[in-house]
Chains A and B, each alone.
Chain A
């Protein structure tokens, strides 16, 4: 199993500013992901964080708005740039292991609760 921590756990930010969320895994994982849950909505995948290369973004999400880094197998960051109130969400990172990313358990961090005023 893997234990995933995130910092910060919550934040209140002003519109137009940026926030960087850190995700740390206690063991090496093959794949890391970033999700968002807007109020009343399902968890939605933002992107797959690739080690040492650009993240792979889902439809509707772009690198300029959500730059992601993954310098090694256990750490990743997500930046929410030029924030607006619509970015108020819970942001979660997750990781999955080496054998089969489809059927392996995907472990999640506790989330970062972001409020943009």
Chain B
């Protein structure tokens, strides 16, 4: 059973703070890592798909890095805003299964 872990489970920051969270996954047979942002009652929104060791991706104030050798990815949010409040999910694909295995998510709350 593939084990994808995210930390912290939840996070509460002030507007303007920068923050980051971690996704850990087994490094063997790694194929791809997906990051999603999920607001309540909405569809999970795809943020990044990362495949190569050392990959760095950026979308506005959000960026992510990938280390496939040690099995982790970081998601960074610079200058958090209340609209960043959501659950951030990572999901891993290993082998040839084309199936996403999700972590339990990091719930971010940004207050004024």
Contact = CB atoms under 8 A, between A and B. Distances in A.
Interface of A: 4, 9, 31, 33, 40-45, 48, 58, 92, 101-111
A47 to B, nearest CB: 10
Contact of B51 (A4, A45, A103, A111): A103
Contacts of A111: 41, 43
A105 B49 contact: yes
Majority SS of interface residues in chain A?
loop
A92 B41 CA distance: 11
Interface of B: 4, 31-32, 34, 36, 41-44, 46, 49, 51, 89, 91, 93, 98-105
Given A43-B89, A103-B32, 11 more contacts: A42-B105, A43-B91, A45-B99, A45-B100, A48-B99, A92-B44, A101-B98, A104-B49, A105-B34, A108-B43, A110-B42
Q: Which 9 A-B pairs have CB atoms at the shortest separation, nearest pair first?
A: A43-B102, A105-B46, A108-B44, A42-B104, A42-B102, A101-B98, A110-B43, A108-B43, A102-B93
